[in-house]
Structure 1
Amino acid sequence: MPTRPPLRQLGLSTGKKARLHRILFRHGLGNGTAIFLPYDQGLEHGPRDFFVNPAAGDPAYITKLAVKGGFNGIALQIGLAEKFYWDYAGEVPLILKLNGKTEIPSDAEALSPVHASVADAVRLGADAVGYTMYVGTPAQEQDFAQYHQVREDAHHYGLPLIVWAYPRGSAIDSKGGKDSFYAVDYAARTASELGADIVKVNFPRPELHTAVRQEYARDFSTQEAIDAVVRSANRTYVLVSGGEKSGDEAMLEKARHAMEAGAVGLIFGRNIWQRSYDDSLAFVDRLKEVLAKYPAL
């Protein structure tokens, strides 16, 4: 079974190491694994994501859920962080998302513009910052340039940098699609090589291999695919996303595969809050049962 490298081997600055230690060992299970609650879907997808559970449209409801569920962190855009996080500041770590876009334009040349700063994150008491990087679009030159500034600022202030590494664009669509093993593996490696401390990826689907590079064109098992993605990230910790809401057993199986591969944890949003409050907490408890089996060495 692959193992996660300990914090002391990640080459982190003092500030980043201290904050990651707080996130991983003073919150959640406290065993070096993590489960984060992302709540940036209102910008990324629009209010439609809240139709199935209208209560989830209230950021106060989600922040309370993050605290009561014992999450290692909650990811918020700046407007919600400024208006709602203060109720529970210090009780659950804040990951401030620094960029984001609406789903209205095509993803063909996707770029997620920066709208907040690392200094904002420090002001709000965040323990980490998040950046969405679209790997494979023609806009990558502009994407990498604004990411460079974010990375430098995160290093200056000592905040861990979590990269949402998302393959996008027509070139990706023609090579297996955004969730193919090829695309997810490439995105994880890109985030690692560009200095992410943690990379967030969707679970790879190895069966999507139409027109991918020949190395990815054969049959891989689900476990082989996620093993390779975590290996490609090397000393960058990996968070695996739940994606769109699906069945509980399928999500738990993804969680087991991810942790077996050496991921540091999970980042599940809609799969948690697109259900009632009590059901959300019950499902979080089931996810924690998986994480409890993979403590840091």
Structure 2
Amino acid sequence: MAYNEILELLGKDADSLLNHKSETFPKETLHLPSPDFIDRIFLDSNRNPQVIRNLAAIHNHGRLAGTGYMSILPVDQGIEHTAGASFAKNPLYFDPENILKLAIEAECNAVATTFGNLAMVARKYAHKIPFIVKINHNELLTFPTKYNQIMFGSVDDAWNLGAAAVGATIYFGSEEADRQIIEVSKAFERAHELGMATVLWCYTRNNAFKKDGINYETSADITGQANHLGVTIQADIIKQKLPDVNGGFTKIGFGKTDPLMYSKLSTDNPIDLCRYQVANCYMGRAGLINSGGESAGASDFAETVKNAVINKRAGGSGLIMGRKAFQRPFDEGVKIIRAVQDVYLANEITVA
């Protein structure tokens, strides 16, 4: 996708996104994605050589290889949203091999999916694309619905599958958050011992975070703090939803805040809201990848390109997009993933 096509997809938002200069956290203070990102960040860390090698395997695979940016295909919706609801639009993805084929054809850095999906095709594909094994899920077969991440397998099993990394979700703010933090921190410790990298879905989940018709589960201040908890348990990569609002702590009336959080350290511009998330990932030392969100149909291409521009200009490390790709015909899924990659490859799009 050429730069003029990106401009066309951004439409009326092109000027506010592409010409915005962030004055919250200066870009010079951030640890930005680059070809030498792993050398600059992780050689001074406690990560062992096997972890560094697997991080490099992810960073150096696919179309974005050697840029410091990542394009990852995640598919755990068969559990998180039911297989029928997730794959009805494109039933070929009931077969997990097609998930791997999509990630490879789109030249992603890695594929993130379930134990079962990867186990069924591990010997055929473990050497062809880095695996990120999602080790916990919220199963949605219980009624009434509950929101609780539980382990679906062991870190050792992920290693046996040939995984380069393990991924997990914590619902920060939920009733079960304490247990999830303890479980995932232990799992990440074991993953690092075995030489695998760690990716944390730092989602917030609490009905009390919804007030006056606004869902503050995607508020910059609350998600930023979730990110900070995530890097504290040594996640190498943080996955987070893009913030679309701010002031969750003050609107709901909990937590510790400082007025500077909402004046000096953030603005209403979506790039600055995302930069607050990056800053809470140790100023970018742990790469922030934002999620692609649910598919809305015809508007997906424009929305996806916009999200990628926001993440890149904020100082983020990439996009992890599933439903917008696998809920459309295979060739279109490849095309939309590559459109995201084109944003990160475009020299005209710089960090704000």
Structure 2 unmatched ranges of 5 or more? 1-26
Normalised by the size of structure 1, how large is the TM-score?
0.91
Match of 1:286 in 2: 339
Q: Distance in 1 between matches of 2:279 and 2:107?
A: 28
Match of 2:179 in 1: 142
- 1:242-296 alpha-carbon deviations (Å, 9 max, x no partner): 011132111101101101112111100001111111111111221111111379x
TM-align CA RMSD: 2.4
Instruction: Tell me how far 1:67 sits from its aligned partner.
Output: 1.1
Instruction: Tell me how far 1:185 sits from its aligned partner.
Output: 1.4
Match of 2:71 in 1: 35
The equivalent position to 2:224 in structure 1, one of 169, 173, 185, is 185
Q: 1:238 to 1:108 in 2, by over 3 A?
A: farther
Q: For 2:174, what is the secondary structure of its paired residue?
A: coil
Match of 1:262 in 2: 315
The equivalent position to 1:169 in structure 2, one of 195, 199, 206, is 206
Q: Distance in 2 between matches of 1:208 and 1:52?
A: 37
Q: Distance in 2 between matches of 1:171 and 1:108?
A: 17
Q: Which moved more, 1:102-111 or 1:175-184?
A: 102-111
Query: Are the aligned partners of 1:28 and 1:34 in contact in 2 as well (CA < 8 Å)?
Result: no
Q: Which moved more, 1:131-140 or 1:110-119?
A: 110-119
Structure 1 unmatched ranges of 5 or more? none
The equivalent position to 1:211 in structure 2, one of 226, 232, 251, is 251
The equivalent position to 2:276 in structure 1, one of 219, 224, 228, is 228
Q: For 2:319, what is the secondary structure of its paired residue?
A: strand
Q: Give 1:223's aligned amino acid.
A: I
Q: Look at both structures and tell me which one has the larger radius of gyration over its CA atoms.
A: 2
Q: For 2:230, what is the secondary structure of its paired residue?
A: helix
Q: 1:135 to 1:289 in 2, by over 3 A?
A: same
Query: Are the aligned partners of 2:216 and 2:246 in contact in 1 as well (CA < 8 Å)?
Result: no
Q: Distance in 1 between matches of 2:223 and 2:142?
A: 22
Q: Percent identity?
A: 26
Match of 1:70 in 2: 107
Q: Give 1:99's aligned amino acid.
A: N
- 1:115-173 alpha-carbon deviations (Å, 9 max, x no partner): 21121111111100001111001212211221122022012112111001110023333
Query: Are the aligned partners of 1:109 and 1:137 in contact in 2 as well (CA < 8 Å)?
Result: no
Query: Are the aligned partners of 2:140 and 2:146 in contact in 1 as well (CA < 8 Å)?
Result: no
The equivalent position to 2:56 in structure 1, one of 8, 21, 27, is 21
Normalised by the size of structure 2, how large is the TM-score?
0.77
Q: For 1:211, what is the secondary structure of its paired residue?
A: helix
Q: Give 2:281's aligned amino acid.
A: A
Q: Distance in 2 between matches of 1:51 and 1:108?
A: 21
- 1:205-249 alpha-carbon deviations (Å, 9 max, x no partner): 126858246756776211110011011111211111001113211
Q: 1:35 to 1:106 in 2, by over 3 A?
A: farther
Q: Which moved more, 1:13-22 or 1:169-178?
A: 169-178
> How many residues align structurally?
295
Q: 1:267 to 1:79 in 2, by over 3 A?
A: same
